[in-house]
Amino acid sequence: EPEVTQTPSHQVTQMGQEVILRCVPISNHLYFYWYRQILGQKVEFLVSFYNNEISEKSEIFDDQFSVERPDGSNFTLKIRSTKLEDSAMYFCASSATGATDTQYFGPGTRLTVL
Amino acid sequence: GNSVTQMEGPVTLSEEAFLTINCTYTATGYPSLFWYVQYPGEGLQLLLKATKADDKGSNKGFEATYRKETTSFHLEKGSVQVSDSAVYFCALIQNPGANSKLTFGKGITLSVRP
């Protein structure tokens, strides 16, 4: 069964460093998402992406964040200068047709900012 | 804005016990409602969904009915198994429109003991 994959599973970085979280969505899907979950809190929407541009972004997704689909398979989330409060589990998701179609999630990347 | 409220956890049950996990929502319009499950070390998986009032979603013995009058989508299972131990998230997508971001509840951890 096709699945969304994410790398790395755990990333440790120093405050102020740049990190890139990588995701490989399901191959025929067109809509891509990033969510995050700070320990003990809700899963929060960050950004949605379709047709090579951002469809919607949350208040969390400020200028420090960017997303890219650099080729036909990868979908990346870059945090330009990490802060302690960026420590969280980051989930990538994809869906075939958007709207209320099922979103398939990856296993997540745990980001720890020291 | 939209929000999802889940009962506080964790929940510990004995095998074959009856399960109810409460979920209520606040949203404008007519949201679509979802239950996602996260098994240890894995990503979020769609468990079931309902897209309009009085719809019942069901999967793997779990059921939830979309109750517009009480703005609820409670998850139930008649007889839980040890393998149901996981974190359960209630979520919604705002309808109508192209906005397809999921709004999640906090999640609840279910532990089933033999």
- Over residues A6-12, mean pLDDT: 96
User: How high is the pLDDT of residue A101?
Assistant: 82
* CA–CA separation, B11 and B9 (whole Å): 5
* CA–CA separation, A77 and A21 (whole Å): 5
- Over residues B46-53, mean pLDDT: 94
Looking at beta carbons, which residues of chain B come within 8 Å of A93? 44
Contact A91 B93 (CB under 8 A): no
**In chain B, % of residues over pLDDT 90:** 79
pLDDT category of residue B99 using cuts at 50, 70 and 90: low
User: How high is the pLDDT of residue B97?
Assistant: 57
User: How high is the pLDDT of residue B100?
Assistant: 83
* CA–CA separation, B17 and A35 (whole Å): 33
How far apart, in Å, are the Cα atoms of B34 and each of A1, A5, A12, B9, B104? 21, 22, 32, 19, 9
- Residue B107: closest CA among chain A residues belongs to which residue? A42
- Start-to-end CA distance of chain B, whole Å, equals 41
- Over residues B91-103, mean pLDDT: 79
User: How high is the pLDDT of residue B30?
Assistant: 84
- Residue B109: closest CA among chain A residues belongs to which residue? A40
* CA–CA separation, B109 and B85 (whole Å): 8
User: How high is the pLDDT of residue B96?
Assistant: 58
- Over residues B15-28, mean pLDDT: 95
Tokens 């889940």 correspond to B6
Looking at beta carbons, which residues of chain B come within 8 Å of A58? 101
Picking from A87, A93, A94, A111, the residue whose alpha carbon sits closest to that of residue A30 is: A94
Nearest-Cα distance to chain A for B6, in Å, is: 10
Contact A43 B102 (CB under 8 A): yes
